[in-house]
Structure 1
Amino acid sequence: MIVEGSVLAIPRANIDTDQIIPARYLTRIDAAGMGVHLFEGMPDGERLLAQHPGASIVVTGENFGCGSSREHAAWALLDRGFKAVIAPSFARIFHENAYTNALVPVIVPQTIVDGLMSARHIAIDVDGETLRADGGEPIPFGLDALRKHFILGGGFLNYLNAKIPAVRAWEAAR
């Protein structure tokens, strides 16, 4: 599976979930329509999005998604058309929410992130766990083996639903 697209570079660390999607939008339980509010809580967030229409890969600083636990942050990114976030680190709960919703969370060292900030296009090979910026050399990264299946399957719930026939067959054979 290849995830690719143009880049939205945000050279900041500690972008929290309230900057990604402000708390006033957390009353919704559906991901549809969340993307229009993406980065409303971030200084210059709306301007950044306007300057990079159609961007689908975020490159950003360490500890992305820190702060309050909210799946809405991953939903807003996906609903806006983002497929992946590349950072030196993620807050643990955001990292899990990304995997759960099939938003590819790529962790690479800060020096690599610094180089990717000027990239125009990035292609991420999820199966091969490499990325290429502007057609350059492959850069390796790692994904959790089980959670990688969540991404490849379209998210955790889709992954589980695909297992139902095998569970039913096992139950019938007992």
Structure 2
Amino acid sequence: MDKFTTLTGIAAPLDLINIDTDMIIPKQFLKTIHRTGLGKNLFDEMRYESDGSPKADFVLNKEPYTGAQILVAGDNFGCGSSREHAPWALLDFGIRCVIAPSFADIFYNNCFKNGILPIKLPREVIDSLMEKANRGGNATFTIDLENQKVVDPDGKEYAFDVDEFRRHCLLNGLDDIGLTLQKSDKIESYEEARKEQAPWVFGASA
């Protein structure tokens, strides 16, 4: 996955609590096992009319938020079912960071596995960031993972906590597969030894 170091861009304000994974990506779009192509259906029921036309009042349909890489949201973001398609849809749209007072545990964990940084900040801070995000294109935010801080459009800094191992993985672009491949020499060594000990496991005669 792509490394996450420093991100500067527009933040889309989504001032709603309990945004569940079915709101993020409705169940009818879960047929794919691919991580790409889901961005167009992100927040589908909030984003489109029944005839498929965009809802003019939904934040991600308004400029400059159509290209937002940061989302500021309310409490309990990502609740509901554990579908990994939710972070896939956010990432495919271009969202690399979600800032909220709290997250559902499974969604929170899935974000790190897919290159998205979920940041927990107090509600009063979220309220301030939400207000500044509403300024639109004149307000850019910076997310500095290395120094663990959010810098708002006025230059005010907010520190955030993140597990050191997860931080390491994001900074280095390591998902579960990437972490496994770091041990590829040991895996190959083990397999070669097993071929000697139990050749029948690998289709060879004893």
TM-score (norm 2): 0.77
C-alpha separation between the residues in 2 aligned to 1:159 and 1:144? 18
Rounded Cα–Cα distance in structure 2 between residues aligned with 1:166 and 1:126: 30
> Among the aligned pairs, what percent are the same residue?
38
Structure-1 separation of matches of 2:37 and 2:8? 22
**Counterpart AA for 1:114:** D
Matched AA of 1:10: L
Bigger radius of gyration, 1 or 2?
2
Tell me if 1:130 matches 2:152.
Answer: no
Over aligned residues, Cα RMSD in angstroms? 2.3
Stretches of structure 2 lacking an aligned partner (at least 5 in a row): 49-53, 134-138, 192-206
Q: CA deviation at 1:157?
A: 2.9
Structure 2 distance, partners of 1:148, 1:94, is 17
5 Å-filtered alignment, 1:136-155, equals 136-155=155-174
Tell me the residue number matched to 1:164. 183
Contact 1:88 1:110 in 2 (8 A): yes
Contact in 2 for aligned 1:18/1:41 (Cα 8 Å): no
Deviation larger for 30-39 or 155-164: 155-164
Q: Which residue of 1 aligns with 2:27?
A: 23
The answer to whether the 8 A contact 2:14-2:71 is kept is: yes
Q: How many residues align?
A: 173
> 1:134: how far off?
0.8
Cα gap change, 1:37 to 1:43, in 2 (>3 Å): closer
Q: Could you list the runs of 5+ residues in structure 1 that have no partner in the other structure? A: none
Counterpart of 1:57 in structure 2 is 70
In 1, the alpha carbon distance for the partners of 2:172 and 2:92 equals 18
**Cα drift, residue 103 of structure 1:** 0.2
- AA aligned to 2:25 is I
